[in-house]
């Protein structure tokens, strides 16, 4: 008995050591408050896996953000969208930490950036400082937390990347939050994977009833099946200090006690993140807005999150057999929710719903495909789709329908309109729009023109049409009027807006010289910080030119005074 215990203890220690390959005390919490997450690593997002931790900042901006370890600032990027204001710090151990959606940079970093913004006369900027330019000690100020870029609310997006620029789960380094709750199961599905496979007599995907047990686990009603079968689960995790749902850390499946599938979120590279649409049931997501995680690996799936695969997690159910299928859904703290179901093989089940609307694929996934009708053409590069696919291509007037919408695209397709038959006076403001929503709103799709050809590239199937934008942007001062004294103001604020195609660019000058203004697209504002100390004259002539995405522009001029 003692010998068996020692063997188990040594095995447990060796497994733990093998799994714990990341330094545990090297990085510290980048905030001075407890880590509470609004988003976990690997969480399922639109078209990508989440690459870091979204740490809550108590619903407000302006919390101190500090370097998680000593190092040097290797990259700074300020952008209107994406990460907003982001700082990258490279550390002696080869890892890089990322701090995104910042409100402001620390004085040291801000001075470095502002100098170069004025030199290049641009707000959006990407810089790669030398190793000796901006050296930081652990705990030294990075800046203040914020809500810049494509953030959906105030928080700090924090990443740890390895020396190949692959994001690694920061929890593996000891950046932890309290979590004693088991993951939750919100749906369970069975997939017959070919024309001769059936679940409970059906040849189509079936939602199965998940029965909650007192211990937090789930039981699925017994089912009959035959052929190649896969399963899928909708699962989320809640942490102790937050009410929002986060992603799970791992899922594995077993048949009669033997593992046939595992997916975990220790590390996900940016190159493969887009293939989330092969991990989830993309068609279900587009139709139902629910993300089913497939517990099997489809063909042409390059994701590296899988391990312990046996037949890619697919069950081969034979006649007159019985199998026990088990799913373990776990979080980082090894809180595990288990799902069990019994499967009986029956080849004599009724074939109730063999699809009658099957359409032969007209796009071979590894070949180029072109559609053309009237003045509209569509080019689909090879390997755009994961499988051979049927695309319903229809043209009516200046509108093209590319259906169904629920197909996942790996690459951009090109939609082209020949506008030769348009009169010159009708060409101004012409652009390609995707019709979206219940009211078919014409949403601008980035449009380029070569002669009489308009084209756009897109990763979304749907309906595209030509539309016209003849309305220039609007510019409205928010905290001043013409001739106002601004001596007691820190900021100068202007609202800019374009309702149809959106803002493409803006330029501001003061007394004929470049005037740095930050664009907050969520608030539709341009803001200048007088602490830049570039306004030195008493009388100041401000000029702002704003241009939309089809070339309509508006010029705003005013005078203000400041001592």
What count of Cα atoms within 13 Å lies in the side-chain half-sphere of residue 196?
6
Mean pLDDT score, 40-55: 97
What CA–CA distance (Å, rounded) separates 264 from 305?
A: 6
The predicted structure's pLDDT at residue 350:
66
- For 375-408, the pLDDT digits (tens) are 999 999 999 999 999 999 999 999 999 999 999 9
User: Strand 553-561 and strand 484-485: pairing?
Assistant: parallel
Taking the mean position of all CA atoms in its chain, how far away is CA 478? 33
The predicted structure's pLDDT at residue 471:
96
Mean pLDDT score, 281-300: 97
What CA–CA distance (Å, rounded) separates 496 from 561?
A: 22
Band of the pLDDT at 358, cuts 50, 70, 90?
confident
Domains in the chain: ranges and CATH: 37-173 (2.70.70.10), 184-345 (no CATH), 369-468 (2.60.220.30), 474-561 (2.60.40.1220)
The yes-or-no verdict on residue 425 having pLDDT over 80 is no
The yes-or-no verdict on residue 458 having pLDDT over 80 is yes
Residue 530: name the closest of 546, 518, 512 by CA: 518
Collapsed DSSP state (helix, strand, coil) of residue 103: coil
Name the region of 215 (left: φ>0; alpha: ψ -120 to 50; beta: rest): alpha
- For 225-247, the pLDDT digits (tens) are 999 999 999 999 999 999 999 99
Retrieve residue 165's tokens. Answer: 């620029």
Retrieve residue 183's tokens. Answer: 């993951």
The predicted structure's pLDDT at residue 428:
85
CB count, 10 Å around CB of 421?
9
The answer, as to whether pTM is greater than 0.85, is yes
In terms of residues, how long is the chain?
563
- For 159-174, the pLDDT digits (tens) are 999 999 999 999 999 9
Q: What is the CA radius of gyration of the chain?
A: 28
Yes or no: say if 54 and 38 are a contact pair by the CB < 8 Å rule: yes
Q: Could you tell me what percent of the chain has a pLDDT over 70?
A: 95
Residue 230: name the closest of 189, 282, 283 by CA: 189
The predicted structure's pLDDT at residue 256:
97
The yes-or-no verdict on residue 538 having pLDDT over 90 is yes
User: Strand 198-199 and strand 223-236: pairing?
Assistant: antiparallel
Yes or no: say if 111 and 141 are a contact pair by the CB < 8 Å rule: no
The predicted structure's pLDDT at residue 355:
54
């Amino acid at each position: 008995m003692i010998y068996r215990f020692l063997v188990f203890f040594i095995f447990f220690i060796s497994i733990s050591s093998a799994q714990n390959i990341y330094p545990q005390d090297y990085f510290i919490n980048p905030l001075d408050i407890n880590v509470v997450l609004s988003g976990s690593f690997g969480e399922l997002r639109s078209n990508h896996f989440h690459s870091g931790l979204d740490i809550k900042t108590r619903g407000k901006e302006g919390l101190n953000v500090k370097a998680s370890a000593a190092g040097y600032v290797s990259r700074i990027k300020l952008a209107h969208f994406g990460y907003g204001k982001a700082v990258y710090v490279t550390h002696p151990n080869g890892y890089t930490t990322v701090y995104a959606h910042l409100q402001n940079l620390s004085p040291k970093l801000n001075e470095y950036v502002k100098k170069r913004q004025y030199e290049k006369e641009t707000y959006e900027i990407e810089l790669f400082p030398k190793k000796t330019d901006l050296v930081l000690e652990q705990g030294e100020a990075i800046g203040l937390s914020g809500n810049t870029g494509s953030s959906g609310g105030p928080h700090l997006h924090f990443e740890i990347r390895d020396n190949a620029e692959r994001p690694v789960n920061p929890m593996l380094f000891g950046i932890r939050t309290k979590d004693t709750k088991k993951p939750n199961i919100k749906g369970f599905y069975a997939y017959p994977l070919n024309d001769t496979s059936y679940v409970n007599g059906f040849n189509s995907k079936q939602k199965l009833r998940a029965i909650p047990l007192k211990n937090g686990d789930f039981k699925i009603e017994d089912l009959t099946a035959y052929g190649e079968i896969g399963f899928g689960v909708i699962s989320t995790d809640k942490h102790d200090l937050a009410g929002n749902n986060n992603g799970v850390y791992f899922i594995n499946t077993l048949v009669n006690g033997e593992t046939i599938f595992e997916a975990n979120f220790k590390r996900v590279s940016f190159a493969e993140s887009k293939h989330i649409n092969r991990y989830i049931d993309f068609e279900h997501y587009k139709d139902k807005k629910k993300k089913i995680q497939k517990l099997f690996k489809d063909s042409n799936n390059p994701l590296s999150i899988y391990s312990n695969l046996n037949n890619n997690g697919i069950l081969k159910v034979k006649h007159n057999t019985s199998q026990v299928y088990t799913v373990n859904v776990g979080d980082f703290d090894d809180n595990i929710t288990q799902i069990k179901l019994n499967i009986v093989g029956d080849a004599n089940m009724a074939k109730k719903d063999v699809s009658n609307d099957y359409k032969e694929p007209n796009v071979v996934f590894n070949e180029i495909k072109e559609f053309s009708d009237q003045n509209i053409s569509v080019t689909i590069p090879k390997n755009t789709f994961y499988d051979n696919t049927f695309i319903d291509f229809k043209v009516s007037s200046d509108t093209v329908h590319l259906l169904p919408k629920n197909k996942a695209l790996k690459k951009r397709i090109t939609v082209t309109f020949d506008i030769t038959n348009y009169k010159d006076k009708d060409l101004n403001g012409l652009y390609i729009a995707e019709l979206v929503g219940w009211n078919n709103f014409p949403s601008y799709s980035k449009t380029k023109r070569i002669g009489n050809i308009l084209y756009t590239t897109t990763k979304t199937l749907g309906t595209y049409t030509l539309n016209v934008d003849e309305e220039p942007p609007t510019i409205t001062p928010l905290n001043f009027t013409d001739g106002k004294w601004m001596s007691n103001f820190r900021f100068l604020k202007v609202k800019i807006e374009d309702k149809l195609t959106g803002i493409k660019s803006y330029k501001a000058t003061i007394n004929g010289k470049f005037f740095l203004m930050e664009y907050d697209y969520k608030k539709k504002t341009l803001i200048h910080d007088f602490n830049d100390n570039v306004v030195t004259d008493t009388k100041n002539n401000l000029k702002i030119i704003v241009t939309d995405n089809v070339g309509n522009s508006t010029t705003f001029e005013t005078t203000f005074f400041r001592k």
